Amino acid sequence: MASAPKRRPPIRSFINVAAAILVTAAVLYVAFFPAGPLPALGPTFNPTTGAWTMAADAQVGNQALRLHGLQQPVSVLFEANGTAHITAQTDHDLFLATGYVHARFRLFQMDLMRRQGEGRLSEIVGKAALDTDRFELQLGLLRTAQAEWSQLSASDPSRDALIAYAQGVNDRINEAEAAHQLDAMFTLLGYQPKPWSPIDSLLIKGDMTQTLNFTDTPLVMALLNKSLGADLTSEWFPVLPPNQQAPYDPGPYPKASTAPIETMGQVTDAAAQSADALYQRLAALPAGLISQGGASNNWAVAGAKSVSGGALLAGDPHLHLTLPAIWFQLTMDSPSYHVAGVSLPGTPVVLIGHNQHIAWSLTDAQNQQTFFYSEKEDKAHPGMYFWNGAWQKYRTVSYEIPVLAGQATHLDVKLSIHGPVISERGQTTSVWWAGNLPSQDLGVLFRVGQAANYQQFRDALRDWHSPTHNFVYADDVGNIGLISAGYYPLVAHGQPWLPMPGTGEDDVTGTIPYDQIPQVYNPPDHIIWSANQRQVTASYPYYIGTASNFFDPGYRANEIHRVLSQPGKLSATDMQALQTDTRDFLAAEMVPALLASLSGEKLTSTEATAVDFLHSWDYRMETSSVAATIWWHYWGWYLTETFQPWWKSRGIGVDMGEVWDGLTQDLETWTLRDPNNRVFSAPGIGSRSAGDAERKSFHKLIGDLVKMYGPDPRTWTYGRAHQRVLENVAHVTGLNYGPRPDRGDGNTPLAAGGYPSTHGPSWRMVVDWGTHSFQGVYPGGQSENPASAWYTNRVDTWWSGLLDPMLSADMAAPAAGTKTWSLRP
Amino acid sequence: MRITVLVLSGVIVALLGVLLGAWWTPFFVGAAFGLLIHRPAVAIPLGTVSGLLAWLLPLAAAQLRYGLGPTSVSLAEIMGFDHQGALPVVLTLFVGTLLGLTGAWLACAFWMLVRPQPR
């Protein structure tokens, strides 16, 4: 008997299958692949291996770990606040363990920094970073790092240190991948870090050099020159500062062996157009790639002037305040290296700190290390430039830039004798940048950490090239010193503050001899200080940069010098207080001048109240101060009132904010010493004096403040006007700290320029060799994991101006809350 | 009894898979339910629950062991959801649930297509 024929499936079964396929495909797609802003949801939210592992990663407990490459057991002790104490029996193991510890807490930050330097950000974030990558590859951090690595001899200890450090980082990468504990940002961005190499550490050093020392100032000067004319440009933006400053090295100086500096000449239309094109390109790059002027403090007091009888040292480098911070605090102990302080994650040495005999800190020296050259080209000689009387062939280097969700981009970089070509719009412009000189700075820091006296410290710094830093020194027998170590390019001829012809006559020919760079040792007044000011007086025989945009206007240095030079002895507590000093030196000069200009002026009741606040002000930029708010806004109004008409009438293509520091020095000087300077009588304004401009600015200002803060001046507290924020390195604003009202401004030793302020004391350290007391703190925490208790645990201490003790491993061991890792081969 | 064993086995397999990093296991467990049980009204809820449990239990264990509050809030911030810490939890459980559900649904749908009821 034949079986009954099967019925064909009903149509709804087909519909059901189709719907199931569609929904399943959609679910599997978003589970396996990124979709728009969403990461691949499956691996990202997998509760055991996805981003949730940041909860486990946030825990730090006692652990026994095996690390590939170790020679002997290593101990790592963590204080309750996260400070790491690494104790090893060989230097190799010390650097390997340092690499492991850095990577354990900062791997994503390290990866971002090396990617920035090697031009590989587009690979993880897509086209948005392509301009940055192109620029970085043109500038050449990667080439420099590769050259530095290849020049390290096999017997150089820093070569071993870099190799061991990379091994430690890779141990952590392998461990984290095996245990699914890579930082959540890797999971969310959907990539895994490639192995670490010594060149990556050198790249990170290059990133810092670029941030501190690659400047567009010659382009800015060219644009100012074109619109203002050579005459006004040299008057407003002179080589030597117009205002009274406090250089730390008063001389006497040796005679220079180079030709004197030329006077300002007129920039041609073609040169100005090329400068403008390049200036616009650089201005469009993310913050941090172009140096915007440094802001750091350090000083020392000799034992003869200290309460304890021992030398005092204080240092607070001012950098972009990020979460995680740029620093990682640790002590490093091996048979030949005993150093405590802060290191840059990604590099194997302590940058700022102390050993058993000496302490040191640094500020940026700010001398000119970037020079632009217009290459002479000719259609008859394609691919060539004219130099030293002959046509030379450009060398070319090629790169492929991988781009997330896009095709890789090819980039050819041309190199002239001066350096990489970074613009071919209009004239071809190449850049000579000291950061491109191979410089074994990590080896220098290694030797600094081993120095036991000033001679060894100074000898070690002889090989430091870039960025130029003011290294302050204090030792355990009461000596102090300060040396602005680095490369000071000498230009044979020409106007180095402008783009120069690339035909050979204006080339960099060498550097100022080491013995003739700014430096002092045990000065007679027993104090030394630096705050990015010009280090030397007008009689220094070499050109080292212009007053505007290379060196700081000098108000922090003046205030520090004012406090240190007062009679009496100083203590570590005084050092701490000076680091958080909010007295605005410029305000102390200019507010009396404003009040004098207003005497006899008819004022409204609101204006009269504002004047009363200014009369009773101590010039401290405290959050509760009303006068601080008035001053802070007033100075902006006064600058604008004076210079904006010039900007408008001359069509100046440079943002006034770019040269704010230079204009501030001018306005201070002319208001106090040349009140009838022509600057106050701008085109269309008519003849007037500084006093006229001050009064007009004040009236406008008060109207403005009423609009912003209300009619009652008593409520105009500075905390309403001024805030600070610590920014997450991955630009996740929700993981920022703040904004929160904060004191200080750009002129106070407690640096807090900008609004909201994102720049400031990235580390504060105070050393008293008389009591063997070492203290320090940075804003943030040791971990980049936002779920960790060590993400922001130091912020409150830092914010309130306090310091934590910098303990040795032995001192830290008995404290409560410590954790220990036993690392074994 | 048979179905209880089946369900328990499915949940355990899905959970083990997730614990070993194979986050997609619930999809196949759901599909297995669909192929073995055939009845959508039973297989799909079982697949859904197994997916949910396979992703929920490790999460709950992490919560007990480490506390997931700061992690959850951080993930929400990174994803642009401000301080809405519950959202990553919901999203996570939703993914696990959907994997189990779609696996079971797809298997049942195909089963019904290739093995239609006789006339």
Interface contact B98, partner A, CB < 8 A: yes
Q: How many other β-carbons are positioned within 10 Å of the β-carbon of residue A803?
A: 19
Is residue A382 exposed (0-12), middle (13-18) or buried (19+ Cβ within 10 Å)? exposed
Cα–Cα dist A808/A354, whole Å: 11
Which tokens is A727 given?
């920014």
- Output phi, psi for A85, to 5 deg: -120, 110
SS3 A372: strand
Judged by CB atoms closer than 8 Å, whether chains meet at A55 and B67 is answered as yes
SS3 A369: coil
Burial A614-653 (b: 16+ CB within 10 A, else e): beebebbbbbebbbbbbbbbbbbbbbebbbebbbeebebb
Judged by CB atoms closer than 8 Å, whether chains meet at A730 and B102 is answered as no
Interface contact B24, partner A, CB < 8 A: yes
Q: How many other β-carbons are positioned within 10 Å of the β-carbon of residue A13?
A: 18
Cα–Cα dist A581/A187, whole Å: 43
pLDDT at B118: 53
Nearest 5°: CA angle at A697, between A694 and A701? 135
Strand intervals (E) in A497-632:
500-501, 508-511, 519-521, 527-530
Is residue A819 exposed (0-12), middle (13-18) or buried (19+ Cβ within 10 Å)? middle
Average per-residue pLDDT for chain A: 94
Among residues A317, A314, A316, the alpha carbon closest in space to that of A299 is found at: A314
Would you list the DSSP string of A63-117?
Answer: EEEE-TT-SS-EEEEE-TT--EEEE-SSHHHHHHHHHHHHHHHHHHHHHHHHHHH
Report helix, strand and coil shares of chain B as percent, to nearest 5.
80, 0, 20
Per the DSSP assignment, residues forming a β-bridge with A480 are: A474
Judged by CB atoms closer than 8 Å, whether chains meet at B66 and A46 is answered as no
Q: Which sign does the torsion angle of CA B55, B56, B57, B61 carry? A: positive
> Cβ distance A102 to A126 under 8 Å?
no
Judged by CB atoms closer than 8 Å, whether chains meet at A49 and B24 is answered as no
Q: Which of residues 184-213 of A touch B (CB under 8 A)?
A: 184-185, 188
Interface contact A182, partner B, CB < 8 A: no
SS3 A470: strand
Which tokens is A565 given?
């030079």
Instruction: With beta carbons under 8 A apart, name residues in chain A contacting B58.
Output: 47-48
Interface contact A24, partner B, CB < 8 A: yes
> Cβ distance A329 to A506 under 8 Å?
no
Instruction: With beta carbons under 8 A apart, name residues in chain A contacting B82.
Output: 734
Q: Hey, what's the torsion of the CAs at B76, B81, B83, B89, to 10 degrees?
A: -40
Q: Which amino acid is at A171?
A: D
Question: A478 to chain B nearest CA, in Å?
Answer: 48
Q: Is the pLDDT of residue A699 over 70?
A: yes
- The residues, any chain, with a CB within 8 Å of residue A666's CB and separated by 6 or more, are A236, A242, A679
Q: Which sign does the torsion angle of CA B26, B29, B34, B39 carry? A: negative
- Mean pLDDT is lowest, of A49-53, A464-468, A490-494, A768-772, for A490-494
Question: A789 to chain B nearest CA, in Å?
Answer: 9
> At which residue do the structure tokens 């934590």 appear?
A804
Interface contact B119, partner A, CB < 8 A: yes
Which tokens is A572 given?
């570590």
Question: A725 to chain B nearest CA, in Å?
Answer: 16
SS3 A722: coil
Judged by CB atoms closer than 8 Å, whether chains meet at B109 and A43 is answered as no
- The shortest CB-CB distance from A48 to any of B58, B74, B80 is to B58
Cα–Cα dist A193/A110, whole Å: 10
Interface contact B78, partner A, CB < 8 A: yes
Interface contact B39, partner A, CB < 8 A: no
pLDDT tens by residue, B16-47: 999 998 999 999 999 999 999 888 999 999 99
Interface contact A5, partner B, CB < 8 A: yes
Judged by CB atoms closer than 8 Å, whether chains meet at A45 and B92 is answered as yes
Instruction: With beta carbons under 8 A apart, name residues in chain A contacting B91.
Output: 41, 45
Cα–Cα dist A749/A584, whole Å: 8
Q: Which amino acid is at A711?
A: P
Judged by CB atoms closer than 8 Å, whether chains meet at A52 and B71 is answered as yes
Mean pLDDT, range A67-93, rounded to an integer: 97
Cα–Cα dist A210/A208, whole Å: 5
Alpha helices in A126-265 (DSSP H): 130-139, 141-151, 157-178, 184-189, 198-213, 217-228, 230-236
Q: How many other β-carbons are positioned within 10 Å of the β-carbon of residue A525?
A: 12
pLDDT tens by residue, A731-751: 999 999 999 999 999 999 999
Judged by CB atoms closer than 8 Å, whether chains meet at B78 and A6 is answered as no
Cα–Cα dist A567/A561, whole Å: 12
Instruction: With beta carbons under 8 A apart, name residues in chain B contacting A45.
Output: 55, 88, 91-92, 95
**Radius of gyration (C-alpha) of chain B in whole angstroms:** 16
Cα–Cα dist A780/A573, whole Å: 23
Judged by CB atoms closer than 8 Å, whether chains meet at A734 and B58 is answered as no
Which tokens is A144 given?
């420099």
Interface contact A37, partner B, CB < 8 A: yes
Confidence of residue B117 (pLDDT cuts 50, 70, 90): low
Interface contact B117, partner A, CB < 8 A: yes
Judged by CB atoms closer than 8 Å, whether chains meet at B105 and A20 is answered as yes
pLDDT at A529: 98
> Cβ distance A298 to A749 under 8 Å?
no
Among residues A93, A61, A85, the alpha carbon closest in space to that of A825 is found at: A93
Interface contact B116, partner A, CB < 8 A: yes
Instruction: With beta carbons under 8 A apart, name residues in chain B contacting A183.
Output: none
Question: A125 to chain B nearest CA, in Å?
Answer: 14
Is residue B21 exposed (0-12), middle (13-18) or buried (19+ Cβ within 10 Å)? middle
pLDDT tens by residue, A293-337: 667 999 999 999 999 999 999 999 999 999 999 999 999 999 999
- The shortest CB-CB distance from B21 to any of A51, A180, A184 is to A180
Which among B44, B93, B98 is the top mutation candidate for probing chain A, defined by the most A β-carbons within 10 Å of its own β-carbon?
Answer: B98
Q: Is the pLDDT of residue A263 over 80?
A: no
Rounded percentage of chain A residues whose pLDDT exceeds 70? 98
Which tokens is A225 given?
């020159």
> Cβ distance B118 to A37 under 8 Å?
no
- The shortest CB-CB distance from A54 to any of B71, B76, B95 is to B71
pLDDT tens by residue, B47-100: 999 999 999 999 999 999 999 999 999 999 998 888 899 999 999 999 999 999
- Output phi, psi for A144, to 5 deg: -65, -45
- Tell me how long chain A is: 825
Judged by CB atoms closer than 8 Å, whether chains meet at A184 and B58 is answered as no
Q: Is the pLDDT of residue A726 over 50?
A: yes
Q: Which of residues 783-802 of A touch B (CB under 8 A)?
A: 785-788
SS3 A698: helix
Confidence of residue A256 (pLDDT cuts 50, 70, 90): confident
- The shortest CB-CB distance from B102 to any of A27, A47, A788 is to A27
Q: How many other β-carbons are positioned within 10 Å of the β-carbon of residue A247?
A: 21
Question: A11 to chain B nearest CA, in Å?
Answer: 10
Most distant pair of Cα atoms in chain B: their distance: 60
A7 or A57, higher pLDDT: A57
Q: Which of residues 41-80 of A touch B (CB under 8 A)?
A: 41-43, 45-52, 54-56, 58-59
Q: Which of residues 725-744 of A touch B (CB under 8 A)?
A: 730, 732, 734-735
Instruction: With beta carbons under 8 A apart, name residues in chain A contacting B16.
Output: none
Judged by CB atoms closer than 8 Å, whether chains meet at B116 and A5 is answered as no
Judged by CB atoms closer than 8 Å, whether chains meet at B58 and A47 is answered as yes
pLDDT tens by residue, A629-643: 999 999 999 999 999
- ipTM metric: 0.94
Interface contact B52, partner A, CB < 8 A: no
Number of A–B residue contacts, CB under 8 Å: 138
Judged by CB atoms closer than 8 Å, whether chains meet at B106 and A21 is answered as yes
Judged by CB atoms closer than 8 Å, whether chains meet at B62 and A47 is answered as yes
Confidence of residue A69 (pLDDT cuts 50, 70, 90): very high
Question: B61 to chain A nearest CA, in Å?
Answer: 10
Q: Hey, what's the torsion of the CAs at A586, A590, A595, A599, to 10 degrees?
A: 170
Which tokens is A668 given?
């201070």
pLDDT at A1: 46
